[in-house]
Amino acid sequence: MTGRLSRFLRPVCRFALLAAFALPAFSPAGAAAQGCCTPGSSPLGGISGGALDGGGIEVGLWAEAYGLRQGYRGSAKIADPALRESRVLTAVGFLRVGLHDRVALLAQFPFEYRDRTAPAIPGTGTPAQDFSNTAPGDLTTILLARVLPAQGPGRFALVLGAGAKWKTGPHDNRQDGLTLPVELQTGTGSTDPVVAAAARYLWWWGSVSSNAVLRLPARGETEYRYGNELNYTVTALRDLGVSWRVGLETRGRSAGRDDFRDFVRPNTGGSRVTLGPRVVFSFPGAPVVFEGAFQLPVYQHLNDEQLGVSEGASLGVRWTGL
């Protein structure tokens, strides 16, 4: 029993250490906190499958939901002066098509709901505020290449990719005649280069994997530029029979400060790490997989005063065939 436990933990520890030291190397320079009121704009749902065999195809739907209720100044929790709350729900349809034995094209189509509320503060004359936006996000396309194919337990698989996030989503939606703030817009107004990586270590009882997407925003049509943004996950799963896999997943985001016409927005940019359980269910004999996870923050550091993520959840389904 001790020997099996040791064989289970050894590759997990190696992979976790590798990820801990390697991922910060891709972090945007000077990143210290998340954007003002949004958990990020680079969903990872379609990355985790990596490249497909030539002629293969995968279709999936991935949803992420975040609640933002806690105010932060740096790493310190504070009472938000405006008593704001924010919610973000992103549904991402993705399609991966195998172009070669080791090359695939990934396309992700997001649709988002974002809102922010602030109650009236008694004695101040401040009216209650409720802003929301429901609209498509920006299309992302990435060419993925399998660099190290896994040949079985005890082997690494590595997939690298590059592509772009295209300015297809609206970035100037209005409510009551007023343009919504940038953190509530579903599009960024710019076409940005994207770099992706997915790694996996397999053994007889499960797997450890890591996925990362680095976005390098350009200046948009309104001369607004988002900070460089890195989103990543590290997941350890234990096989339970043929259909079930359970484990832990940590998710991270690191982003630089935004700027508008070369004026830095002080209350943007930063980093966070969340942690929680993950469950994967595969239908026996069928190419359908269901996935779900729940996340709670374990670290956040936000520039100036911002709303931080209070909790997050994700749910996905994917079908793989010829």
pLDDT in tens, 57-97: 999 999 999 999 999 999 999 998 888 899 999 999 999 99
Q: For the segment 235-284, what is each residue's pLDDT rounded down to a tens digit?
A: 999 999 889 999 999 999 999 999 998 899 988 999 999 999 999 999 88
**Overall average pLDDT of the 165-191 stretch:** 92
Q: Is the distance from CB of 169 to CB of 186 less than 8 angstroms?
A: yes
Please name the residue that has the structure tokens 């993950």.
Answer: 278
Find the range with the poorest average confidence among 3-12, 116-125, 142-151. 3-12
The beta strand positions in the chain, using DSSP E, are: 57-74, 76-78, 85-100, 103-118, 129-136, 140-148, 155-165, 174-175, 178-179, 192-203, 206-215, 224-225, 229-240, 244-255, 259-260, 263-264, 270-282, 288-321
d(CA 212, CA 197): 5
Find the range with the poorest average confidence among 28-32, 47-51, 171-175. 28-32
Confidence of residue 285 (pLDDT cuts 50, 70, 90): confident
With a CB cutoff of 8 Å and minimum separation 6, the contacts of 23 are 210, 212, 230, 232, 252
**pLDDT score at 41:** 64
d(CA 223, CA 204): 52
**pLDDT score at 294:** 96
CA distances from 69 to 3, 86, 184, 187, 238 (A): 45, 6, 15, 23, 33
Q: Are strands 174-175 and 224-225 parallel, antiparallel or unpaired?
A: unpaired
d(CA 288, CA 17): 32
Domains of the chain: 2-321 (2.40.160.40)
1 has pLDDT over 50: no
**pLDDT score at 44:** 73
Q: For the segment 191-236, what is each residue's pLDDT rounded down to a tens digit?
A: 999 999 999 888 878 889 999 999 999 998 889 999 999 999 999 9
pTM: 0.83
142 has pLDDT over 90: yes
- What is the phi/psi pair of residue 280, to 5°? -130, 130
Nearest alpha carbon to residue 236 among 55, 2, 4, 10: 10
Q: For the segment 17-45, what is each residue's pLDDT rounded down to a tens digit?
A: 344 334 433 444 333 333 455 666 666 77
CA distances from 111 to 211, 280, 297 (A): 21, 24, 24
125 has pLDDT over 90: no
